Structure 1
Amino acid sequence: MLDDIALFVHVAQARSLTGAGAALSLPAATVTRRLQRLEDKLGHQLVHRSARKFGLTSEGEAYFQAFAGIVEQAEVTARNLSAEMHELSGPLVVAAPTNISVGALQPMWTAFMRRHPGIRLDLRLSNFNIDLLEDRIDLALRIGPQQDQRLYQKKMGSISTAVMAAPSYLEGGNMPEGPNDLERHAIIAVRTIPAWRLSHKLTGSTCVLHLKGDVIVDDIALVRQFAEDGFGVCLLSVTEAAEPLEQGRLKLLLPDWQGQQRDIYAVWPTGRLLSARAKCLREFMRIYLAERPVFQGQLPTVSTLI
């Protein structure tokens, strides 16, 4: 009915059914049919139909005065929103995990802002999932597949996890040769990961270890720091440990084994059209991650292995 009211306003402004049809790119027959439908719903004739003269009835004049301004404002707003959806400028609200965003992905955010200075990036960082609908998030970066049916998701890459420890912890020479050897080592555990699932790179065989944590935390950055400080062995993503691995503060153990890969997803609400800005960031992330092996599931070079 609202669309038919807008059509009536255009008819009144054009003072012609044919003229309104031309302005709206509609056949005159369609304009006539929809106007008749509106009049039937309202129970009033709105337009005097005559081949020689156009005019509004008193009811038509009242409806025109009531709705002309509303229709005009709605159409202006719709045009502005449409233009904003297609422009690479304006606000973009993004949710992402804290640790990877301030660590391995920090250069990506910098590169995106430099590439698109007109986009005002509002980056909401949290290691807990933000409600994208409630917080009106345009696009989110998430680790792991999402079970929420209200969300679309597109895989962007993956991150390997590996067993590692500091050289200072390994000074005693008690090196683990296989996964089961980890049971006699000090373990730095993450509260949300009750078991370590390791897979053999060559055979594909898996080993699930339920290890008792000597230290248990719920923050990955603290796991890395405790490992660097020599408190034990940890299972950590290679992106989180990239710098200490490169600088020798951590070493990879069990070179034939690796932990579960953690897939990276771009996520957005199903009921919301992606703006040009959100699409731009999604494509930027896809290319950025695809060009870097560490975000495609590859482990660091052999120089970081023991």
Structure 2
Amino acid sequence: MLDDISLFVHIVRSGGLAAAAVELGLPAATVTRRLQKLEHVLGCRLIHRSARKFSLTSEGEAYFEAYAELVQQFDATTRAMSAELHQISGKLTVLAPTNVSVGILQPMWSAFVRRHPQIRLDLRLGNKLQDIYDGQVDLALRIGPQQDSQLFQIRLGVVSTIVVASREYLAEHGTPDRLSDLSAHRIIAVNGLPRWSMRNKRDGSTEAMRLEATTQVDDIGLARQLARDGLGIALLPASEMVDDLESGRFCRILADWQGPDREAFAIWPTGRLLSARAKCLRDFMQAHIGRMPVLQGQVPVCGEPRSQENQIDWHRL
């Protein structure tokens, strides 16, 4: 019924049914039919039908006076919201994990801000998923699939988790040759990866391990630093250790085995239209994460720097 009220107001402002039909791009018969439908619902005539003169009935005058301003406000709000959705400018609130954002993806954020200075990026680091449901976040980068059917998700990449230790630790404690050897070593565990579900990449066999951790932390960055300091063996995402692996500070051990893959997703609530700026960032992340080998499941080779073609010049983006 709201559409028919709006149509009536447009008819009055246009000065007739034919003029309103042209202005709205509708067939004249459709305009007439919808006006008649509204009059039938109201139980009264709103417009005098005359080939010589367009005029409102007393009921039509009262109806126009009651709704004209509301329809104008509705149209203005609709136009403003449409412009807001389609313009690549304005505020964009994004939720992303701390470690990956201040680490391997930090240059990506800089490149996005440089490419789109008209977008005011509000990057919130953390994992407060409730912010998405509350409508406080336009788009989120999340690690691990989201099981909630209220969320749309697009897969951006995948990170391998591998077993590593520093050269100093291995020199002092020896290098394990089998998974069973790990029970004799100092283990640094991350709360997000308490159980080591290992998969052999050669034969596909799996083994679930519950190791007694010497040290347990709830932050991957801290676990990496503890392992870097020679305090134990850790199962960590390869994306958190690119420089350490390439420089030789970390050695990958039990190379035939790796932990669960950690998939990265862009997510947003179902039923919400993504603004043009949110789509812009989503596509930007998809393109550039897709160009990073370590975020597509590859593992850097220990002591072997990246080849020139695998180094992204973010400043040129």
TM-score by length of 1: 0.95
CA distance in 2, matches of 1:118, 1:87: 10
What is the alpha-carbon distance in structure 2 between the residues aligned to residue 288 and residue 65 of structure 1? Answer: 55
Code of the aligned partner of 2:23:
A
- Shift of residue 129 of structure 1? 2.8
Root-mean-square deviation (Å): 1.5
One-letter amino acid of the structure 2 residue matched with residue 280 of structure 1: C
Amino acid at match of 1:233: I
Please report how far the alpha carbon of residue 172 of structure 1 lies from its aligned counterpart in structure 2 after TM superposition. 2.2
Task: Report what 1:120 is aligned to.
Answer: 120
Question: Runs of at least 4 residues of structure 1 off by over 4 A?
Answer: none
Please tell me whether the aligned partners of residues 95 and 127 of structure 2 are also in contact (alpha carbons under 8 angstroms).
Answer: no
Q: Counterparts of 1:302 and 1:241 in 2: how far apart (Å)?
A: 10
Q: How far, CA to CA, are the matches of 1:181 and 1:56 in structure 2?
A: 91
* Range with bigger deviation, 153-162 or 190-199: 190-199
Deviation at 1:244, TM superposition (A): 2.5
Partner residue of 1:206?
A: 206
Secondary structure of residue in 2 paired with 1:303: coil
Match of 1:254 in 2: 254
Structure 2 counterpart of 1:11, one-letter code: I
- Between the aligned partners of 1:302 and 1:226, the Cα distance in structure 2 is 19
Give the corresponding residue for 2:17: 17
The 1:127–1:188 alpha-carbon spacing in structure 2 relative to 1, beyond 3 Å, is: farther
User: Which residue pairs with 1:268 in the alignment?
Assistant: 268
1:223 counterpart residue number: 223
Task: Give the equivalent residue in structure 1 for 2:282.
Answer: 282
Instruction: Identify which range, 236-245 or 153-162, moves more after superposition.
Output: 236-245
1:128–1:170 distance in 2 versus 1, CA, 3 Å: farther
Q: Which amino acid aligns with 1:24?
A: L
Q: What letter corresponds to residue 131 of structure 1 in structure 2?
A: D
Q: List runs of 5+ in structure 1 lacking aligned partners.
A: none
**TM-score (normalizing by structure 2):** 0.92
Give the secondary structure class of the aligned counterpart of 1:227: helix
How far apart are residue 225 of structure 1 and its match?
A: 1.5
Query: Which residues in structure 2 correspond to 1:170-181 (within 5 Å)?
Result: 170-181=170-181
Q: Which residue of 2 aligns with 1:141?
A: 141
Amino acid at match of 1:283: D
Hey, what does 1:110 align to over in structure 2? 110
- How far apart, CA to CA, are the structure 1 residues paired with 2:251 and 2:181? 17
For residues 87-140 of structure 1, what are the alpha-carbon distances to aligned partners after superposition, in whole Å with 9 as ceiling and x for unaligned? 211111111111111111111000011111111111111044343130432111
CA contact (8 A) 1:99 1:127 kept: no
Structure 1 pair 238–130 and aligned structure 2 pair: CA distance change class (3 A): farther
- Worse-matched range after superposition: 37-46 or 51-60: 37-46
Inter-partner Cα distance in structure 1 for 2:166 and 2:40 = 81
Distance 2:278 2:263 in 1: 20
Q: Tell me the residue number matched to 1:68.
A: 68
Amino acid at match of 1:206: T
- CA distance in 1: counterparts of 2:59 and 2:136, whole angstroms: 42
2-structure distance, mates of 1:50, 1:34: 18
Corresponding position of 2:8:
8
Structure 2 unaligned blocks of 5 or more: 305-317
| Structure 2 match to 1:83 | 83
Q: In 1, distance between residues paired with 2:147 and 2:233?
A: 31
What is the distance in 2 between the residues matched to 1:26 and 1:166? Answer: 73
Which string of whole-angstrom CA distances, capped at 9 and with x for unpartnered residues, describes residues 253-306 of structure 1? 1122222111111111111111111111111111101111011000011436xx
Q: Answer whether contact 2:245 2:301 (CA < 8 A) is retained.
A: no
1:151 corresponds to? 151
Is this contact kept in 1: 2:95–2:141, CA < 8 A? yes
How far has the Cα of 1:157 moved from its partner?
0.7
Measure the CA separation in 2 of the matches of 1:112 and 1:130: 25
Output one character per residue of 1:231-272: Cα deviation in whole Å (capped at 9) or x when no partner.
211100011122332333322111222221111111111111
